[in-house]
Chains A and B, each alone.
Chain A
């Protein structure tokens, strides 16, 4: 059975298999540093996209 947080990952990158959800999948320039993302977004004006997941 595929765990729920992987559904999105499979949708955006069908060829990527993940060992767990503690780390983001390869591909998009993910960060785990919310502060750094806020700082960058406040300068660029880009929205912040957050993917919330947890241990299952």
Chain B
């Protein structure tokens, strides 16, 4: 009996987590996929009708805006957060005193809910109160910073807040990467009199490929899932100028009573994430076999 337990217990204790994830995630995704192929509106229906929901989705100007926003937001957010994160990591890598405290402060935005920190951001971005009003009160009467209420620019305020939230996190990832570079190589380069910036650009950073990859994956999936940010800052407005796919889905499911549209938009988001996650899993698994 004990022998049997010792061989089978490891599998038995793994089973609950395994089954929970399997049913909870894939079972429910399958339900969503099914419903996305029906004529469901206010209530779910289960007769498959084909791709009509997807046709409606791609004909919808609001979905069009959400997808455009996702590309603008995603690209800017990922690039800016990575560049800033890398610069901050290099700064903290200079043997700075009180590094532990600084690191914690840089990570605070990530540890706090955007719904809550959005309070301050709404004040900062409000033309009548925050940056615009402050700079004008210094005598620059023509200074203008009204992105939050300008439909053409509101999406950039989402980028701003997202970068604020995540660059400390990217910094922490890169800092770990910088520290894992072989000290001997760096010392040898210093002995040869190579300037510090060349050591970074030619030796350290090129050896951090995998870290760039994981930072990219994490930021990309954060961008696609972004929901709190938009709800906290603009609520999708002005109009639906700052809608992202997640808020589109939310609006369809809960205020428009259109389950079919909600399900089909969710499936499109799934597909996009899958195309990012699958190469990542593949490269991780290959790394394991090396």
Whether chain B is bound by chain A comes out as no
B residues engaging A (CB < 8 A)?
A: none
